[in-house]
Amino acid sequence: MQDAAPVLEARHIRRHFGAVVALADASLNLYPREVVGLVGDNGAGKSTLLKILSGIVAPSGGDIVIDSKTVLLRRAQDAMDAGIETVYQDLALVDTMSAYQNVYLGREELSPNPVARFFNLVDDKKMRARAREVLDALQVKVPSINVAVKGMSGGQRQCLAIARALLWGRRIVILDEPTAALGVRETGQVLEVIRDLRKHDVSVIIVSHNMQQLMSVADRITVMRLGRSIATRTVKDTEVNEIVGLITGAIPGDSPEALAQSAAQSAA
Ligand X SMILES: Nc1ncnc2c1ncn2[C@@H]1O[C@H](COP(=O)(O)OP(=O)(O)OP(=O)(O)O)[C@@H](O)[C@H]1O
Does 19 help bind ligand X (rule: CB under 6 A)?
no
* Partner whose footprint covers residue 43, from ligand X, Mg ion, none (CB < 5 to 8 Å by kind): ligand X
Query: What kind and span of H or E run contains 213?
Result: helix 211-217
- Measured at CB, which residue is nearest to Mg ion? 47
Give the list of residues 6+ apart from residue 242 with CB closer than 8 angstroms, or none.
233, 251
How, if at all, do strands 220-225 and 35-40 pair?
parallel
d(CA 223, CA 217) in angstroms, rounded, equals 16
Among 20, 184, 264, 268, which residue sits at the site for ligand X (rule: CB under 6 A)? Answer: 20
Stretch that binds Mg ion, among 20-28, 45-53, 151-159, 246-254 (CB under 5 A): 45-53
Q: 37: helix, coil or strand? A: strand
61-66 vs 69-71, strand pairing mode: antiparallel
The yes or no reply on residue 47 touching Mg ion (CB under 5 A) is yes
- How long is the chain? 268
Coil, strand or helix at 108: helix
- Please work out, in degrees rounded to the nearest 5, the angle formed at the alpha carbon of residue 156 by the alpha carbons of 154 and 162: 105
Residue 131 is a binding residue for ligand X (CB under 6 A): no
Name which of 43 and 143 has its Cβ closer to ligand X.
Answer: 43
Alpha carbon 173 to its chain centroid, in Å, reads 4
Return the range that interacts with ligand X (CB under 6 A); candidates 43-51, 138-146, 148-156, 158-166: 43-51
Given 48, 54, 179, 222, the residue binding ligand X (CB under 6 A): 48
The binder of 20, among Mg ion, ligand X, none, by C-beta within 5 to 8 A per type, is: ligand X
Choose the stretch contacting ligand X; rule: CB under 6 A; options: 15-23, 115-123, 140-148, 195-203. 15-23
Q: Please report, as ranges, the residues that interact with ligand X according to CB under 6 A.
A: 17, 20, 22, 40, 42-48
- List contacts with Mg ion (CB under 5 A): 47
